């Protein structure tokens, strides 16, 4: 199945009539438009977060920054196809557009770059005798990944450049290079895993890839013949479009008429879309509805949807009981509270699912190993994107580089290898189950407490302890990208695989350079954003407090037991699902039963499950296929309306926009 889609968008002219070549080729001019769109997307994500404060456009596995520009081109291209078909983009070019944006914009805004610059500049700016950062951690920080300590580099970042001061680009060459090299290495590992497992997931396990499936259907039929694209001709699509777009467009009137009644149904969480339940629960109930999430998860299997909301309810009950009785585990002085217990259990579940995924794919992996050791000319490859040998080389090359990158950052070599293995096991699980569910807020679990749980901080050097908390989502670039790669492979033609690393370079550079320029031009402190102040202060305070502890932790059997229980629970649930077709619980629900992101969208998931259940009960698969365009309309309508709101903010309220989209 992985090769069926690229066959429609093969960029090669070989074996095709000459008159068909223009319809299947990604033209050079189109590539220039695609690159320009990616650069604009990365800049817009930072601008709207810092300057306009209208939205956080990069907060998921398929961020709004990507969807917004893709939908803009989709709708604009629909008009071009109807009026000037010669100038419209083809299906291949639209899909390539989405892939390039999806890969490159993974570095935009809140997803990485705005937190990265804050983490790199803040230590020297906020260090003080009170927080003792210089005394406790400065000797262990990997300064090679920070901007050079030239005069004015740090102060001008937060306060802005003076009239005659030049922006110190030289100080940022090193940080951008090392961030970019890590991003390319992480991408290489992700591509290697995708190449090896793609056919297993698509052909043998029949994963649905909802995020890619929606894009495939929306872009179908964009050839050079005049007329409307197929999705435009479906009335149910416009029903979904109107449902999602109308409330947001209605609320635009309130920008000029403050007393105008608002429709708050799609407001983000921080605009009052929560209700407290109990002080013993970690988060209030969120009734925020997000049409894009509902549209994508409508393609998700019923048992996954049922497991997500039902086990989340169980998880809330477990939290309530543990908090109510003050339950904790661990040795004296290093006890884990309920939230930490949940994190350890969740990581155990993820590792169990990773082991099971490899075990289930063992016949396929034997074929991969056979082709790596003894390739045969003309033999059909069992891998995607690369040959079997190419996949192994790309994967192992990325792993080797990241081990030494982490070692240079402060990890000991054994700990770097262990940390990378644990982290990539959870990324691997996120890659697979994002392809199964379409739930775009599925993240790998960060694994720095797990090695400490086994060996204790008493057997870890100070540099390893600092690195284990520093190398996170605010510093390590590229970790958000791999979950999207299995979807990208289904959309992009094999001859254009070079666009993936190319998009990484263009996206990271444009996001980093624009964000750095904007902070120096206007002063990062003037933006009053958490990414530049609150996040880095919290990060380095946590690191300093850990180094300042006089009683190091030791190996903790109770925590290890919870971790093992998580892995065993994942194995049992997965085995039952594989053995009994009637088994209602999917392991993804077990993995996310304590997740904050599921808590945010619990109502959305329940409603989608209920609607899809009724559709299948009343009309079967035929009715389901007929109403799918409503889900597509929800996605396009919401993104279109949010884009209109952004334009209004940029034109009439450029200095203080209305917060439209977020969690």
Question: What is the tens place of the pLDDT at every residue in 98-118?
Answer: 999 999 999 999 889 999 999
CA distance 341 to 337: 6
Instruction: Identify whether the C-beta of residue 304 lies closer than 8 Å to the C-beta of residue 605.
Output: no
> Own/partner pairs for 5-13, CB < 8 Å, 24+ apart?
5/216, 5/490, 5/491, 6/492, 6/493, 6/494, 8/91, 8/92, 9/91, 9/92, 9/95, 9/96, 9/492, 9/493, 10/493, 10/494, 10/495, 11/92, 11/493, 11/495, 11/496, 12/495
With 70 as the cut, is the pLDDT of residue 23 above it? no
Instruction: Identify whether the C-beta of residue 628 lies closer than 8 Å to the C-beta of residue 220.
Output: no
User: Checking phi first, is residue 206 left (phi over 0); if not, alpha (psi -120 to 50) or beta?
Assistant: left
- Strand partners for 274: 286
The alpha-helical segments, DSSP class H, found in 277-337 are 291-297, 302-325
Q: φ and ψ at 38, to 5 degrees?
A: -65, -45
Q: Count Cβ atoms within 10 A of the Cβ of residue 9 and give its class: 0-12 exposed, 13-18 middle, 19 or more buried.
A: buried
Averaged pLDDT for residues 497-516: 95
- Count of CB atoms within 10 A of residue 88's CB? 22
pLDDT digits (tens, 9 = 90+) for 339-348: 999 999 999 9
pLDDT of residue 381: 87
With 50 as the cut, is the pLDDT of residue 15 above it? no
Among 53-62, 354-363, 415-424, 464-473, the least confident range: 53-62
User: Higher confidence at residue 655 or residue 457?
Assistant: 457
CA distance 211 to 483: 11
3-state SS class at 336 = strand
The three-state (H, E, C) secondary structure of 348-384, written as one string: HHHHHHHHHHHHHCHHHHHHHHHHHHCCCCCCCCCCC
What percent of the chain has pLDDT above 90? Answer: 72
When the pLDDT of each residue in the chain is averaged and rounded to a whole number, the result is: 90
Q: Count Cβ atoms within 10 A of the Cβ of residue 323 and give its class: 0-12 exposed, 13-18 middle, 19 or more buried.
A: middle
* DSSP designation for 661: B
Bridge-based pairing state of the strands 274-275 and 285-286: antiparallel
Confidence of residue 448 (pLDDT cuts 50, 70, 90): low
CA distance 648 to 561: 54
Q: What are the percentages of helix, strand and coil residues in the chain, rounded to 5? A: 70, 0, 30
pLDDT of residue 662: 78
User: Higher confidence at residue 568 or residue 53?
Assistant: 568
pLDDT digits (tens, 9 = 90+) for 192-210: 999 999 999 999 999 999 9
pLDDT of residue 447: 60
With 50 as the cut, is the pLDDT of residue 10 above it? no
- Count of CB atoms within 10 A of residue 653's CB? 15
pLDDT of residue 622: 95
CA distance 41 to 100: 11
Q: Could you give the angle at the alpha carbon of 280 between the alpha carbons of 596 and 543, nearest 5°? A: 55
The three-state (H, E, C) secondary structure of 523-558, written as one string: CHHHHCCCCCCHHHHHHHHHHHHHHHCCCCCCCCHH
pLDDT digits (tens, 9 = 90+) for 147-165: 999 988 999 999 999 888 9
- Strand partners for 275: 285
pLDDT digits (tens, 9 = 90+) for 257-284: 988 999 999 988 877 788 999 999 988 9
Total residues found in the chain within this entry = 663
Confidence of residue 649 (pLDDT cuts 50, 70, 90): confident
User: Higher confidence at residue 515 or residue 59?
Assistant: 515
CA distance 5 to 39: 27
Averaged pLDDT for residues 131-135: 95
- Count of CB atoms within 10 A of residue 655's CB? 8
- Count of CB atoms within 10 A of residue 104's CB? 31
pLDDT of residue 224: 65
Confidence of residue 19 (pLDDT cuts 50, 70, 90): very low
The alpha-helical segments, DSSP class H, found in 200-273 are 210-218, 235-251
- Count of CB atoms within 10 A of residue 501's CB? 15
pLDDT of residue 54: 75
> Own/partner pairs for 358-362, CB < 8 Å, 24+ apart?
360/205, 360/578, 361/197, 361/200, 361/204
Confidence of residue 24 (pLDDT cuts 50, 70, 90): low
The closest alpha carbon to 368, from 387, 354, 385, belongs to: 387
């Amino acid at each position: 199945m992985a090769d069926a889609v690229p066959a429609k968008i093969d960029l090669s002219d070989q074996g095709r009539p000459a008159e068909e070549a223009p319809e299947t080729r990604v033209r050079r001019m189109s590539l220039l438009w695609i690159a320009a769109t990616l650069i604009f997307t990365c800049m817009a994500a930072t601008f709207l977060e810092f300057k306009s404060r209208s939205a956080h456009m990069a907060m998921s596995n398929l961020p709004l920054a990507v969807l917004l520009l893709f939908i803009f081109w989709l709708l604009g291209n629909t008009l071009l196809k109807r009026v000037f078909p010669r100038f419209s983009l083809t299906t291949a070019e639209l899909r390539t557009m989405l892939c390039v944006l999806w890969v490159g914009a993974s570095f935009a805004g809140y997803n990485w770059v705005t937190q990265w610059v804050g983490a790199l500049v803040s230590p020297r700016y906020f260090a003080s005798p009170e927080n003792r950062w210089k005394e406790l951690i400065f000797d262990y920080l990997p300064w090679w990944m920070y901007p050079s300590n030239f005069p004015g580099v740090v102060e001008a970042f937060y306060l802005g450049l003076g009239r005659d001061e030049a922006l110190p680009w030289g100080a940022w060459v090193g940080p951008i290079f090392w961030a970019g090299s890590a991003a390319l290495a992480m991408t290489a590992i992700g591509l290697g895993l995708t190449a090896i497992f793609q056919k297993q997931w698509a052909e043998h396990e029949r994963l649905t890839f909802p995020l890619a499936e929606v894009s495939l259907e929306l872009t179908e039929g964009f050839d050079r013949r005049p007329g409307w694209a197929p999705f435009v001709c479906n009335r149910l699509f416009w029903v979904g479009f109107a449902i999602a777009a109308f409330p947001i467009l209605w609320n635009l009137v309130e920008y000029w008429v403050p007393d105008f009644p608002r429709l708050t149904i799609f407001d983000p969480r921080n605009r009052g879309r929560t209700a407290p339940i109990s002080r013993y629960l970690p988060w209030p109930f969120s009734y925020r509805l997000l049409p894009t999430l509902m549209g994508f998860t409508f393609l998700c299997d019923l048992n996954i949807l049922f497991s997500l909301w039902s086990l989340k309810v169980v998880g809330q009950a477990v939290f309530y009981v543990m908090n109510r009785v003050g339950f904790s585990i661990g040795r004296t002085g290093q006890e884990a509270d309920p939230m930490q217990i949940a994190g350890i259990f969740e990581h155990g579940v993820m590792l169990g699912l990773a082991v099971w995924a490899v075990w289930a794919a063992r016949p396929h992996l034997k074929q991969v190993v056979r082709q790596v050791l003894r390739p045969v000319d003309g033999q059909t490859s069992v891998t995607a994107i690369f040959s079997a040998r190419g996949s192994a080389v790309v994967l192992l090359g990325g792993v080797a580089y990241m081990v030494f990158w982490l070692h240079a950052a402060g990890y000991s070599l054994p700990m770097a290898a262990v940390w990378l293995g644990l982290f990539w096991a959870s990324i691997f699980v996120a890659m697979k189950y994002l392809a199964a569910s379409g739930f775009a807020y599925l993240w790998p679990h960060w694994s720095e407490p797990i090695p400490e749980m086994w060996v204790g901080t008493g057997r870890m050097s100070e540099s390893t302890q600092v690195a284990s908390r520093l190398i996170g989502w605010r510093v390590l670039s590229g970790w958000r990208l791999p979950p999207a790669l299995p979807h990208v492979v289904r959309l992009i033609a094999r001859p254009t695989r070079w666009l993936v690393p190319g998009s990484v370079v263009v996206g990271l550079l444009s996001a980093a350079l624009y964000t750095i320029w904007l902070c120096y031009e206007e002063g990062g402190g003037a933006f009053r954003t958490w990414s530049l102040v609150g996040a880095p202060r919290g990060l380095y305070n946590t690191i300093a407090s850990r180094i300042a502890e006089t009683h190091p932790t030791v190996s903790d059997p109770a925590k290890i037991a919870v971790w093992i229980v998580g892995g065993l629970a994942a194995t049992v649930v997965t085995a039952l699902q594989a053995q009994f077709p009637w088994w209602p619980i999917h392991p993804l629900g077990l993995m996310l039963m304590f997740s904050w992101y599921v808590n945010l969208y619990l109502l959305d998931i329940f409603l989608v499950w209920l609607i899809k259940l009724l559709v299948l009960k009343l009309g079967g698969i035929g009715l389901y296929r007929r109403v799918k365009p409503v889900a597509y309309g929800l996605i396009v309508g919401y993104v279109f309306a949010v884009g209109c709101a952004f334009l209004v903010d940029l034109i009439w309220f450029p200095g203080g926009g209305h917060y439209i989209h977020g969690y």
